[in-house]
Structure 1
Amino acid sequence: MASAVRHSFLVTAVPLPVSDSAPAAYDEAAIADTRLWLERAVIGLNLCPFAKSVHAKAQIRYVSCATEFEGDLLDILESEAKGLVAEDPRRLDTILLIATGCLSDFLDFNDFLGRAERRLRRAGFDGVLQLASFHPDYCFAGTEPEDVTNCTNRAPWPTLHLLREASLDRAVEAFPDAEAIYERNMETLERIGFAGWSALDVSAGAAHRAAGEGA
């Protein structure tokens, strides 16, 4: 990709102000892949019982960023965090920032997460926002890449998930057995195995394949 990057976002919730200095590129395909993954895997397998509500209410903002520079991605992350905090949570509750131009290597992505968390802390979001992460090759510490339970955090593209702390607190109150979610997810993935996960078809390009099947 050339160093000159278009300044454009696809927004599915509400338009938020984005800094002109935050380079990003419009990539509808990556957003469509991510939406399909959310519907088929996260909601379909009930990996996160809180996801269905914000999805149904269109409170999720999807942002696809094609920059190849990690520093630019950090700038966009901070800009999106500011926009999220400034917006009414009834209109916008969470943001999925999809990196299509960098961090394809999981080790690089894992290293980047520390920088991202420090950036958010320095910007004053400690205790206000949480950062979750997903990656096509996600691998939990102490597991092997072929361990199917890693699929709980595997998404079509490297993805940074900005969540409101207040929303998480309310969700936990509404779901008193929240600590059991992790164990249940492990059981679900072990039950369906890699064959079941592959059958969901939630890797990069899934939305294009789904459109072709429906043609």
Structure 2
Amino acid sequence: MNDISQIENRVRRWLEKAVIGLNLCPFAKSVYVKDQVRIAICHAQDKHTLTAQLYEELQLLASTPAQQTDTTLLVVPSMFEQFSDFNDYLDIAEAVLDELELVGEIQLASFHPAYQFADTEPDDLSNYTNRAPYPILHLLREDSLDKAAEQYPDASVIFQRNIDVVRALGHEGWHRLLQDDQE
């Protein structure tokens, strides 16, 4: 199995076991089972190359019907070992959205192996709601989010539920859940 296949398989296991399996995103299952989630692996090792691929992925998503590709996960396995570096890059990613005039059409969400919300300790289980095997820029269609939000008018309920689920699972439970991902 080549490197790209291993990375994609690891991302798919995380999606299936954590995101969908724990229902961390109640909207993910429907697009995933319809094969409308694009997983793009970016082997960039510098911000310039990553930004070029981000431009391409945003333009591709914007020009592709949602029935074909509803959302894109841009996986960046070769950069951003430190969460702070990844978090800083999000400003660049948001600027790209603005430059392409896609603000209001596409939204960015972020995941990282060491994700840390502001004002939390690194090992706080609430951070695990946004932890993934690799740094990931999630490109989401605003229209799809709006439709999904009709079922969940108070999104904070989802966020708090996710924290409760992950805290109930605990550190050991989280690692057991994704034990296939441990190398």
Q: TM-score, normalised to structure 1's length?
A: 0.81
1:54 and 1:60 in contact (8 A); partners too: yes
- Looking at structure 1, the residues matched to 154 and 88 of structure 2 have their Cα atoms a distance apart, in angstroms, of 32
1:95 aligns with 2:72: yes
Provide, for residues 105-157 of structure 1, a one-character-per-residue CA deviation record: whole Å limited to 9, x for no partner.
11100000111101111111111100000000000000000101100000000
Cα drift, residue 177 of structure 1: 4.2
1:166 aligns with 2:143: yes
| Contact preservation (8 Å) 1:27, 1:66 | no
Residue 175 of structure 1 deviates from its aligned partner by 2.8
Distance 1:70 1:27 in 2: 20
Residue equivalent to 1:5: none
Deviations 1:23-67 (A, max 9, x none): xxx712111111100000001111000000010000000011111
**Structure 1, gaps ≥5 residues long:** 1-25, 210-215
Tell me which residue corresponds to 1:145.
Answer: 122
1:138 partner letter = Y
Unaligned runs of 5+ in 2: none
Counterpart secondary structure, 1:152: helix
Residue 77 (structure 1) aligns with: 54
Q: Which has the larger radius of gyration?
A: 1
CA–CA distance in structure 1, aligned partners of residues 57 and 151 of structure 2: 27
Name the structure with the higher helix share: 2
Q: Partners in 2 of 1:51 and 1:71 — Cα distance?
A: 30
Between the aligned residues of both structures, percent identity stands at 45
For normalisation by structure 2, the TM-score amounts to 0.95
Q: Which residue of 1 aligns with 2:181?
A: 206
